Structure 1
Amino acid sequence: MYLLLSQLSLMDLMHVSTTIPKMATNSLSDQKSISFVGCATQHFLYLTLGGAECLLLAFMSYDRYVAICHPLRYAVLMNRKVTLMMAATSWLGASLNFLIYTASLMHFPFCGPRQIHHFYCEFPAVVKLVCGDIPVYEAAVYVSTLLLLLLPILLVSASYVCILHSVIQMRAAGSKRNAFATCSSHLAVVSLWFGAGILSYMRPRSQRPPLHDTVGSVFYSIVTPTLNPLIYTLRNKDVAKALRRVLGRDLITQRSQVQLS
């Protein structure tokens, strides 16, 4: 579990680092631009990291299924070799898939002044600049994205159906609470990530207003990767205790300041 969590943290860190530094640089400078190679690199990285996270979240749901439904066989079914294969499959599968689509997209001719109406080189914003008719390419990307979203969602759903069935059969209330606590963080992250991805990429281009694209991309490229570590770490008792201690200390400090003033 911790190896998979470390990969999720790395993906979230890289996802935020792919977009925010360049966005901050453009916001603070008069020249709001990005090179062609830089745009292609950014486009490839954020798609790869997003796709890898979809696959990794699906594998993590299987990890939760084994931990709850087959606890005595967990060390055998989820040994280090299996978890390393899961992590490698997430990275390689997503990178190979989106390397092809990024290379194909960057070979199309682009129209006009090449102004991207977005704060980074997101796929929908870049596709709008392409000259000519590209329905075949868009259809291929749509099908690929559909599979990359729906297959993990199906695996997650199947895992949690089995988990729910096992939890219902548990007699002890404490065991049920522990099982739900084990899955709560993963369910929250899955809901945020796949919900934002479906709203952003599963609609036709004609039904995606620019404002909706921007809000959706901010959510899944900045908000969700930032919230994921917080969602997982707050389940740790030591982290939660430290947070309560800090908040309590700040509250006491504020009260003393109010009394002194």
Structure 2
Amino acid sequence: METGNLSLGTDFTLVGLFHYGPADTLLFAVIAILFAVAVMGNVTLVHLIRLDRRLHTPMYFLLSQLSIIDMMYISTTVPKMAANFLSGSRTISFLGCEIQTFVFLTLGASEALLLGFMSYDRYIAVCRPLHYPVLMSRKACGCMVTCAWSSSSIIALVHTLYVFQLPFCRSAHINHFFCEIPSLLPLVCEDTSQYEHTVTMSSLVFLLYARVLVVVFHMGSGKGQRKAMSTCSSHLTAASLFYTTCLSAYTQPHSLHSPDRDKVVAVIYSIVTPVLNPFIYSLRNKEVLGALRRQMR
């Protein structure tokens, strides 16, 4: 095990998901297929929203941005994982690890904020439909997307710069399949409990999306509640899957983390979620299915 302060010229070793056995080859094939499905599904959804004028609404504009983020999100981890598996090498440079952490945090925070804005969109559509054209104007949607990208970049930059200036002196082995802050903190030889507490408190802010659930289940009439559920159910499914898995990874101190469990959770929010989102938002959506049928003709 390597010890000593790690710096810019040092390589990390990613333990990864695979151990180069027959079962791991099958698992790698499954993940490669999921990656292809995620890219194709999200590209198709963005293409449909761009081409079909009936989908030129605030909800679908935000959904197209979510699909773009998902494509980039899964591309941050899977290609490097595939390259390591195929080459037999598990190393990543200190700078490469830092860049991967920054990009992954930026995209993850962007998705979390965008899901929150989509929750706001559904809240306005259900509870204040007469104000919807004003509150969800083209300018407002543009501001939401700009805010999601800019604020998430700043948040990611602050966290990345802080973590990578800490002394990594316990090991150069990252027990994960990509560089992520929860997997890097166990390598730090300083007390990071105060920083972890700050991360936990900031992560809990994203639970504001639960406001939509409260609104839906307090609708006055059964008919109104059913309409609200049909409007929000797809978004609530996608948001719940992403938020619950991310919060379980980022709100626990590293002393309570289990590497194997963390990898499974990370697979869900970094690989499975980008795969499922296009299907969650389209399979029960008559407008998207109608647009798909029109384009196929």
Q: 1:146 aligns with which of 201, 225, 233?
A: 201
Shift of residue 86, structure 1, vs aligned partner: 1.1
TM, length-normalised to structure 1: 0.82
In the alignment, the residues of structure 2 paired with residue 83 and residue 242 of structure 1 have an alpha-carbon distance, to the nearest angstrom, of 22
**CA deviation vs aligned residue, 1:63-88 (integer Å, no higher than 9, x gap):** 00111111122111110111111111
Q: 1:47 to 1:116 in 2, by over 3 A?
A: same
Structure 1 letter corresponding to 2:62: L
Q: 1:85 to 1:41 in 2, by over 3 A?
A: same
Helix, strand or coil at the partner of 1:165: coil
* Residue 82 in structure 1 maps to residue 140 in structure 2: yes
Helix, strand or coil at the partner of 2:107: helix
Aligned length: 235
Q: 1:235 aligns with which of 284, 292, 295?
A: 284
Q: 1:180 aligns with which of 194, 207, 229?
A: 229
**CA deviation vs aligned residue, 1:36-60 (integer Å, no higher than 9, x gap):** 2211111111111111111111111
Residue in 2 aligned with 1:208?
Answer: 257
Helix, strand or coil at the partner of 2:218: helix
* Residue 162 in structure 1 maps to residue 219 in structure 2: no
Residue in 1 aligned with 2:266?
Answer: 217
**CA deviation vs aligned residue, 1:131-163 (integer Å, no higher than 9, x gap):** x3132xx52343234323x22212x22233234
Check conservation: 2:176, 2:263, Cα contact below 8 A: yes
Matches within 5 A, 1:1-261: 1-111=59-169, 114-130=172-188, 132-135=189-192, 138-148=193-203, 150-154=204-208, 156-166=209-219, 168-169=220-221, 173=223, 176-237=225-286
In the alignment, the residues of structure 1 paired with residue 227 and residue 283 of structure 2 have an alpha-carbon distance, to the nearest angstrom, of 15
Check conservation: 1:69, 1:163, Cα contact below 8 A: no
Check conservation: 1:101, 1:141, Cα contact below 8 A: no
Of the two structures, which has the highest relative contact order with CA contacts closer than 8 Å and spacing of 6 or more? 2
In the alignment, the residues of structure 1 paired with residue 84 and residue 234 of structure 2 have an alpha-carbon distance, to the nearest angstrom, of 35
Check conservation: 2:69, 2:107, Cα contact below 8 A: yes
Residue in 2 aligned with 1:252?
Answer: none
Check conservation: 2:74, 2:270, Cα contact below 8 A: yes
Unaligned runs of 5+ in 1: 244-261
Helix, strand or coil at the partner of 1:126: helix
Check conservation: 1:65, 1:160, Cα contact below 8 A: no
TM, length-normalised to structure 2: 0.73
Greater Rg by CA: 1
Structure 2 letter corresponding to 1:153: L
Higher share of residues assigned helix: 1
Instruction: Determine what percentage of the aligned residue pairs are the same residue.
Output: 46
Structure 2 letter corresponding to 1:3: F
Shift of residue 10, structure 1, vs aligned partner: 1.2
Residue in 2 aligned with 1:254?
Answer: none
Helix, strand or coil at the partner of 1:118: coil
In the alignment, the residues of structure 2 paired with residue 242 and residue 81 of structure 1 have an alpha-carbon distance, to the nearest angstrom, of 25
Helix, strand or coil at the partner of 1:34: strand
In the alignment, the residues of structure 1 paired with residue 206 and residue 104 of structure 2 have an alpha-carbon distance, to the nearest angstrom, of 18
Structure 1 letter corresponding to 2:190: D
In the alignment, the residues of structure 1 paired with residue 200 and residue 155 of structure 2 have an alpha-carbon distance, to the nearest angstrom, of 10
RMSD: 2.2
In the alignment, the residues of structure 2 paired with residue 105 and residue 11 of structure 1 have an alpha-carbon distance, to the nearest angstrom, of 24
